Amino acid sequence: MNMRKSQPSSGESGETEVAEKLEGGTSEKAKEGLAEEESLEERLKAEEARAEENYDRLLRVTAEFENYKKRMEREMNDFRKFANESLIKDILPIVDNLERALEISYGNNEKAFYTIQEGVRMTLKGLLSNLERSGVVPIESLDKAFDPNFHQAVMQEESEGHPENTVSKELQKGYMMRDRLLRPAMVAVSKKPDFAPEDKSETPTDEQKDEHKIDVTIQ
């Protein structure tokens, strides 16, 4: 008996081809959909990374701007405080001359001396008062320990009445302008005498030597 393979009819063959085409089309669309979804996720991640980077940049710029504002405020405050510094430095020699004028002796003409001295004192007082309103104050140096931050030593002198490295004389006053050194004080600094009286060894005189001699007479 001959066996024949059953062949699909033309109608069945067409339906199969259509089904395969539909399945193939669905598969392609699914692949395209997945690819598009993956692409969207990648773009979303990229945009999120870009947004985070921009936010970090914004924070840095904001911080730098705040630091800039604070620095400018400090500089402006310093400018307001010390804007007259050069002018005040020019005024200080006038103060020095007025103080020296008060130290001058006018001999026997006491009336003229008193009048001039009083006028100079009043002028000096007013000038120092104006300087103080600008934040300028003298440095107290006399009998203070020598400090190179505020004192300029121009000489050393032996002194028994001061501890060593103490300001024994103030040759020219120093001044502070608020918290800034405007001019150091010119001072003399004390040092111990080379030979203190208590350290000097006494050398016996010839008379003292004779007192301890013993006369011996040989007969």
pLDDT value for 66: 87
Q: Helix, strand or coil for residue 213?
A: coil
**Distance of alpha carbon 143 from the chain centroid:** 29
Write out pLDDT tens, residues 99-133.
887 777 766 777 777 878 888 888 888 888 888 88
Characterise 142 by phi-psi region: left (phi > 0), alpha (psi -120 to 50), beta (else): beta
Residues 21 and 32: their CA atoms lie apart, in Å, by 16
Residue entry with tokens 């010119």: 186
Q: What pLDDT is attached to residue 70?
A: 86
Structure confidence at residue 153 (pLDDT): 93
- Report the distance separating Cα 190 and Cα 157, nearest Å: 5
Find out whether 107 and 85 touch, Cβ atoms under 8 Å.
Answer: no
pLDDT at 175: 93
How confident is the model at residue 199, as a pLDDT?
47
Sign of CA dihedral 146, 151, 156, 161: negative
Q: At what angle do helices 110-133 and 85-102 cross, to 10 degrees?
A: 160
Stretches in the chain below the pLDDT threshold 50: 1-5, 199-201, 213-219
| pLDDT, position 121 | 85
Concatenating the DSSP letter of every residue in 31-70 gives HHHHHHHHHHHHHHHHHHHHHHHHHHHHHHHHHHHHHHHH
Question: What length does the chain have?
Answer: 219
CB 185, CB 173: distance < 8 Å: yes
- Nearest CA-CA partner of 152 in 179, 186, 198, 113: 186
d(CA 40, CA 34) in angstroms, rounded, equals 10
Region of 122 on the Ramachandran plot (φ > 0 left; ψ -120 to 50 alpha; else beta): alpha
Stated pTM of the model: 0.48
Check residue 208 and give its pLDDT.
54
From residue 176, alpha-carbon distances to 83, 132, 142 in Å are: 14, 10, 16
Q: Compute the Cα dihedral for 28, 33, 36, 42 and give only its sign.
A: negative
Give residue 16's pLDDT.
61
